[in-house]
Amino acid sequence: MKARMSFGPDYECKYEWDCFCQAGKSGLVLAGKDTYTTAFFEAFPSKPNCFIRGEGGTVEEAEEQCWQKYQKIRTCNHEMERRGRTDGYGYCKHCSYSAMVFEPLTKCCKCGKLTAYSKDTRGRFYCKTCRRVMPKAVTPRFYLDYKNRIPRRRKKMVKQGASMKLYGGDRYRKVKMKI
């Protein structure tokens, strides 16, 4: 069993993994203000379907940690908790297993179905079906232009001019003169 390395040839695993694995000698970890590099080993088992990561001074150490986590996950009597997440994703209290195990706590603002599928800029949720009617995000340009917007009276004239233009002829010219 081999794990794919970020750089260089594959790594020969110590354990018999039955899933895709990848590893690296110097992975960058961003943990708040602290940034550090570490050797890592990541496994993507299908039973249960999850992601496990081990870290250590060397890839061997990282694999060891990852394997121990995997053994624990396989024998653990999971007790899942949300840890502040509302989308249905849960973490086990006893091991490093985490997965989508709950119903979301948020509801679709159109049909009321429990969903965390999509969220608009005002924080309202939409299910997969209702997502079609979700308003498009307001572009920041709108706010930038807001202060320099055309005075209302003048805007009305421009609008009038534009609609008059459709009719053509003298009336358009007259409106244009007024501006």
Residue ranges binding Zn ion (CB under 5 A) = 76, 78, 92, 94-95, 97, 108, 110-111, 127, 130
Minimum distance, C-beta of residue 130 to Zn ion, in the bound complex (Å): 3
Minimum distance, C-beta of residue 76 to Zn ion, in the bound complex (Å): 3
CB of 17 or CB of 91, closer to Zn ion: 91
CB of 3 or CB of 92, closer to Zn ion: 92
The order of strands in the sheet holding 98-100 is 80-81, 89-92, 98-100
CB of 18 or CB of 48, closer to Zn ion: 48
Minimum distance, C-beta of residue 27 to Zn ion, in the bound complex (Å): 25
Per-residue H/E/C for 17-35: CCCEEEEEEEEEEEECCEE
Minimum distance, C-beta of residue 88 to Zn ion, in the bound complex (Å): 16
CA distance 49 to 142: 44
CB of 112 or CB of 171, closer to Zn ion: 112
Count Cα atoms within 13 angstroms, Cβ side, for 83.
Answer: 11
Element (H, E) at 166: helix 152-167
> Can you name the residues that pair with 49 across neighbouring β-strands?
46
